[in-house]
Every structure is written in C-alpha cells, then in structure tokens.
C-alpha cells in the first residue's frame, strides 16, 4: 500500500474509533456525531482506493457517487451501495436542525461504516506494496 493510501485509511480508522467511542458513552452519547464520523470513515476508505490506483480524488462527500465512480473497476462494490446511501443521508441530515439521530441510527451507521471498511480493505489487500494489482 502506498504511504498516502495508508494515511487515508489511518484517518478513516480514527473516525471509526471516534464513532464507536461516542456510541459507547453511558451519559448522553451524541448520536449525531456517531453518524457523522461513521460517514467520514467510509468516505475516506473509498477515497483510499482512488489514491491507491492513481485516480483523481473528487472533493465530494456523497458516498453513492464515490461508489459509482469506482464501480466500473470494482463491480463487487455494488454490495455496499445500500450502506453508502444510508451513511450519506445520515451524515448530512443530522448536522443541521430538523433531524436528530437516535441510538438505532447510530447503530445502523456504525454497521454501514464497518461493512464499507471491510469491502475496501479486501480491495486494498489485492494490491502489492507498490500499489500494483
């Protein structure tokens, strides 16, 4: 894996750890933050594939759009499309007044981020240390 790709996955893992930590708080967990950090984890993992393969990394946050950009080369990512949609909706909606995430939303977001992370890790493992498949 390229060093820059490793930076992206490290940041993604930090987002996931933050989401997990916040979800486990006993006194007043911030479920909005859990959803946001779960989305950030997935976004950074998807962008890590782009970095690893030399694709231009778009400055967008729509996970479904990112999956669609990768879909031509990695058709097996279709299995995470539903989770990408869930996270994209949750991460934007809960950041502003009008919607507040609850415990179920947070759990669903953590599950979605974890599944996207696993799918991307499978792809990244197919590359050698030099980023060549």
Confidence label for 10 from pLDDT (cuts 50, 70 and 90): very high
- pLDDT cut 90: percent of the chain above it: 83
Name the helix (H) or strand (E) containing 82.
Answer: helix 81-93
The mean pLDDT of 9-36, rounded to a whole number, is: 97
The mean pLDDT of 19-31, rounded to a whole number, is: 97
Structure tokens at 73: 């080369």
The residue count of the chain comes to: 133
pLDDT of 108 strictly over 70: yes
Residue 59: other Cβ atoms inside 10 A: 6
Between 70 and 92, the higher pLDDT residue:
70
The mean pLDDT of 66-85, rounded to a whole number, is: 94
pLDDT at 129: 63
């Amino acid at each position: 894996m390229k060093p820059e790709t490793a930076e992206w996955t490290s940041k993604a893992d930090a987002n996931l750890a933050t989401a997990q930590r916040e979800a486990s708080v006993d006194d007043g967990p911030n479920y909005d933050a859990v959803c946001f950090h779960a989305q950030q984890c997935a976004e950074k993992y998807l962008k890590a594939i782009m970095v690893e393969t030399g694709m231009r990394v778009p400055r967008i946050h729509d996970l479904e759009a990112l999956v669609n950009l990768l879909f031509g080369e990695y058709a097996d990512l279709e299995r995470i499309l539903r989770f990408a949609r869930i996270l994209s909706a949750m991460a934007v909606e809960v950041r502003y007044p009008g919607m507040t995430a609850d415990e179920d939303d947070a759990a669903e977001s953590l599950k979605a981020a974890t599944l996207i992370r696993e799918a991307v890790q499978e792809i990244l493992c197919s590359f050698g240390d030099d980023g060549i498949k």
